[in-house]
Structure 1
Amino acid sequence: MIGIEQRAICDGVNFRSIRDTKFKTMRISAHLIVPMSRQTAAENALLPFLLSRASREYPDFTKLGQRLAELYGASLNADVQKLGDLQVLSLSASGIADRYALEGEAISGELAKLLCSILFDPPLVDGLFPEDGFEQEKRQTMELIDSEYSDKRTYARQRCEAIMCADEPYGVNRYGGKEDIARVERPALTAAWKRLLDTAKIELMVLGDCDPAPVYEGFRAAFETLGSRKTADCTTKVVRSAEKVNTVTEKMDVAQGKLVMGFRTGTATPDEEVPATRLMAALFGGTPNSKLFLNVREKLSLCYYCSASYNSMKGIMLVQSGVEVKNMERAKEEILRQLDEVKQGNFDESEVEAAKMSLCNSYRTLSDSLGGLENWYLSQTFASHSQQPEEAAAQINAVTRQEIIDAANRVTLDTVYCLVGNGEDAQ
């Protein structure tokens, strides 16, 4: 990696360049970060997809496609995700590195101009987004929600999170609800677009083999035209421990039961105990050598799959498993027993080393793709210190056995969600 540069463009707008000449491509992204809210989630979620369709300069798919083709087959992408209690709306342009342009064109500068035109100058008609594109994106976003509903593993995880965080913004679906999307009208989209430009915390990123200077200047000039901004308060509520266990069983036409257990870990970004909690979760259920995999799945054959994941922004850990309904109670008991094993320090050094090796390898491979690097640095947005993956790996390697035990003893069970087939009951 050649270098990382970070500087502010204006209030609430941060520019970050991660330059690495080993890539033959580059990527420019604008991430608009706003507080997650049931009232605005749906209209916000529609915007990146709607904006990526066209701009005033390239007012339809054909003209926009022609321009992307001229830039050596560049591409535009839109995405919506959650980062703690925040909704992240992303627009990205990807293309070849400048040094591969046949006529010496500045592809990075041209893509920055294109992304600015998409973000700042959409093809509004009488102040509204075109109706055909608006209706199409509403339909496609509702189809995205349907696809997540159809994937029962994803659905069960989302239901557990929604129940666990019912009183927190994190409990809202990243796209909002289908009914909310169906109710969105075009004037609301125009107002939401203006509100985002004025209040969102914005992370601009340039990654790969790219000179960041023309990209920075392009966005700086665009934001100058907006005038002053007032950035929204982008904080995440962290519930440190669970006061009681909430158990919910739902029935659906499924062949395989799903058991998802939500835990409060007592540790979240930017706490200094995050590396120890991350390693604890890996040792408990994050690798093929973990206690959940080797015992609950392999030795006892209670689950088709069983794994743990730690969300450091929210300070929660989820254990997801596919279970036959007759085994659901035994699986839950064994998952909790394996957590107690970690709490009591009943693990050996080989388990610790395997967990460390797995995590450190995942950090090393982040730099193999622009997408991996982008997700990593986006996750660092609210950290007290923006780390490089190598620094995070060093922190993991420095975690002690006692710190793992301490991290496990901060964990409390909050929610148990069971998805069972029609006519079945979790025993």
Structure 2
Amino acid sequence: MLGIEQRSVCEGVNFRSVKDTRFKTVRMSVNFLLPIQKQTAASYAILPFLLSRASREYPDFTKLGQRLAELYGAELNADVQKLGDAQLLSVSAVGIANRYALQGENIAGELSKLLCSIIFDPPFEDGLFPKEGFEQEKRQTIELIDSEFNDKRIYARQRCEEIMCSNEPYGIKRYGSREAIQNLKREELTEAWLYLIHNAKAEIMVLGDCDPAPVYEGFCEAFQKVGKKSTVDCPTKIIKQADRVKDVTDKMDVAQSKLVMGFRTQTAIPDEKVETSTLMASLYGGTPNSKLFLNVRERLSLCYYCSALYNAMKGIMLVQSGVETKNIDKAREEILVQLEKIKKGEFDDSEVDAAKLSLSNSYRTLSDSLGGLEAWYLSQTFSNQIKRPEEAAAIVNSVTRQEIIDAANRVTLDTVYRLEGNGEEQV
């Protein structure tokens, strides 16, 4: 890693570059953040996909595809995620590093121009996005929603989050609802685009073997032309502890039932104890040597899989498991038993060492891909201090036994969600 630079483009727009000459490619993305809201989630969700289809300069797939081919097979991608209570809308481009261009072309510069073209200059028809592209993106987004419903592991996790965070923006799905997507009008997309470029917080990322200075200047010029207005704030609501445990059961024709348990950890970004809670969750259910895997899955054979995942942005931890319906209550009790053991310090140094090693390896391998590095630095958008993966690994390795116990004792159960099947259909 040669260097990380961060600077402001304009109010609410941050530019971050990670230069690393090990890579033969460059990746750049524009990531817009807006508070996720039920009434606007659907329109913003299809916007990045709609923008990545074309621009006024390249008004259809053919011409855009030709331009990407001219740039040595460069790629354009779009994505929608949640980052805390914010909806994260991303448009990215990937291409070869300048030093591999046969005619000495400035590939990075051309990629940044292309991104600016599709984001800031859409191919409007009478002030609206083209009807054909609009209808196609609606259909494809509905297909994405349906695919997540059909994957019952994803569906169960989303249902637990929805129940657990029903009074928080995080409880809203990243694409909004299926019905809201179906009812979208083209006029709404124009309004959403205007608000996005004028008011959204933005994180511009440039990673790989690239001189970031010309790219930075290009985005400065682009945002200056559109006239950035006031930037909307994107706060995340952190609930320390639930008033009561919510217990919800749904029934479907699936062979394997799902049990998802949601916990509040009292620790979230920018809290300095985030790495401690991350390690505690890894010890609890993040590795093949964890409490949940060795005991709930292996020793007692109560489930097909059982793992814990800590969300540092929201300060919540989810334990996900696939179980036979008859074993759901037993698995629930044993999951709580294993958490109680960590709270009492009933674990040995070898378990801690295995969890630290696993996390350290995960952090270090992030540097092996530009996509991994991008996701890492985007996840720190709301942190007080930006850490490199190696720095996070060092912090994790310094966590003491007592700090793990303290982190576990901050954890309380919030939600129990059961998706019970009757064994007639395999999903």
Band of TM-score, shorter chain: over 0.9
Secondary structure at the counterpart of residue 362 of structure 2: helix
Counterpart residue number, 1:412 = 412
Q: Supply the AA of the counterpart residue of 1:195.
A: Y
Quote how far apart the aligned CAs of 1:275 are: 1.1
Q: Does residue 254 in structure 1 map to residue 231 in structure 2?
A: no
Find the aligned partners of 1:146 and 1:108 in 2 and give their Cα distance.
36
Find the aligned partners of 1:87 and 1:422 in 2 and give their Cα distance.
36
Counterpart residue number, 1:302 = 302
Quote how far apart the aligned CAs of 1:228 are: 4.0
Secondary structure at the counterpart of residue 14 of structure 1: strand
**Residues 229 and 295 of structure 1: is their aligned pair in 2 closer, same or farther, counting only changes over 3 Å?**
same
Instruction: Answer yes or no: is the 8 Å Cα contact 2:28–2:94 preserved in 1.
Output: yes
Counterpart residue number, 1:274 = 274
Quote how far apart the aligned CAs of 1:227 are: 2.2
Q: Does residue 119 in structure 1 map to residue 119 in structure 2?
A: yes
Find the aligned partners of 2:423 and 2:61 in 1 and give their Cα distance.
49
Any residues of structure 2 matched to 1:161-176 within 5 Å, and which? 161-176=161-176
Instruction: Answer yes or no: is the 8 Å Cα contact 2:305–2:321 preserved in 1.
Output: yes
Counterpart residue number, 2:369 = 369
Counterpart residue number, 2:394 = 394
Q: Does residue 5 in structure 1 map to residue 31 in structure 2?
A: no
Counterpart residue number, 1:187 = 187
Counterpart residue number, 1:74 = 74
Counterpart residue number, 1:318 = 318
Quote how far apart the aligned CAs of 1:88 are: 0.2
Find the aligned partners of 2:227 and 2:320 in 1 and give their Cα distance.
47
Counterpart residue number, 1:55 = 55
Quote how far apart the aligned CAs of 1:333 are: 0.3
Any residues of structure 2 matched to 1:78-227 within 5 Å, and which? 78-227=78-227
Deviates more, 1:310-319 or 1:208-217: 208-217
Instruction: Answer yes or no: is the 8 Å Cα contact 2:256–2:423 preserved in 1.
Output: no
Quote how far apart the aligned CAs of 1:253 are: 1.1
**Residues 359 and 423 of structure 1: is their aligned pair in 2 closer, same or farther, counting only changes over 3 Å?**
closer
Q: Please list every run of at least 4 consecutive aligned residues from structure 1 whose deviation after the TM superposition is greater than 4 angstroms.
A: none
**Residues 423 and 284 of structure 1: is their aligned pair in 2 closer, same or farther, counting only changes over 3 Å?**
closer
Counterpart residue number, 2:290 = 290
Which string of whole-angstrom CA distances, capped at 9 and with x for unpartnered residues, describes residues 184-212 of structure 1?
A: 10000000000001111100010011111
Q: Supply the AA of the counterpart residue of 1:211.
A: D
Quote how far apart the aligned CAs of 1:105 are: 0.2
Which string of whole-angstrom CA distances, capped at 9 and with x for unpartnered residues, describes residues 88-141 of structure 1?
A: 000001000000000000000000000000000000000000000000000000
Find the aligned partners of 2:226 and 2:74 in 1 and give their Cα distance.
28
Quote how far apart the aligned CAs of 1:226 are: 2.0
Quote how far apart the aligned CAs of 1:242 are: 1.4
Find the aligned partners of 1:309 and 1:423 in 2 and give their Cα distance.
27
Secondary structure at the counterpart of residue 402 of structure 2: helix
Instruction: Answer yes or no: is the 8 Å Cα contact 2:253–2:423 preserved in 1.
Output: no
Find the aligned partners of 2:155 and 2:316 in 1 and give their Cα distance.
18
Find the aligned partners of 1:393 and 1:185 in 2 and give their Cα distance.
47
Q: Supply the AA of the counterpart residue of 1:415.
A: T
Find the aligned partners of 2:423 and 2:287 in 1 and give their Cα distance.
34
Identity of aligned residues (%): 72
Deviates more, 1:414-423 or 1:8-17: 414-423
Find the aligned partners of 1:257 and 1:172 in 2 and give their Cα distance.
24
Secondary structure at the counterpart of residue 408 of structure 1: helix
Find the aligned partners of 1:283 and 1:415 in 2 and give their Cα distance.
21
Find the aligned partners of 2:91 and 2:185 in 1 and give their Cα distance.
22
Which string of whole-angstrom CA distances, capped at 9 and with x for unpartnered residues, describes residues 210-239 of structure 1?
A: 111111111100011122421111110000
Secondary structure at the counterpart of residue 225 of structure 1: helix
What is the CA RMSD across the aligned residues, in angstroms? 0.9
Which string of whole-angstrom CA distances, capped at 9 and with x for unpartnered residues, describes residues 330-389 of structure 1?
A: 000000000000000000111111100000000000000000000000001100101100
Q: Supply the AA of the counterpart residue of 2:257.
A: G
Which string of whole-angstrom CA distances, capped at 9 and with x for unpartnered residues, describes residues 296-353 of structure 1?
A: 0000000000000000000000000000011000000000000000000000111111
**Residues 227 and 401 of structure 1: is their aligned pair in 2 closer, same or farther, counting only changes over 3 Å?**
same
Instruction: Answer yes or no: is the 8 Å Cα contact 2:197–2:228 preserved in 1.
Output: no
Find the aligned partners of 1:147 and 1:8 in 2 and give their Cα distance.
38
Find the aligned partners of 1:344 and 1:127 in 2 and give their Cα distance.
63
Find the aligned partners of 2:274 and 2:141 in 1 and give their Cα distance.
34
> TM-score scaled by structure 1?
0.98
Secondary structure at the counterpart of residue 419 of structure 1: strand
Quote how far apart the aligned CAs of 1:291 are: 0.2
Quote how far apart the aligned CAs of 1:421 are: 1.5
Find the aligned partners of 1:84 and 1:254 in 2 and give their Cα distance.
31
* Count of matched residue positions in the alignment of Structure 1 and Structure 2: 424
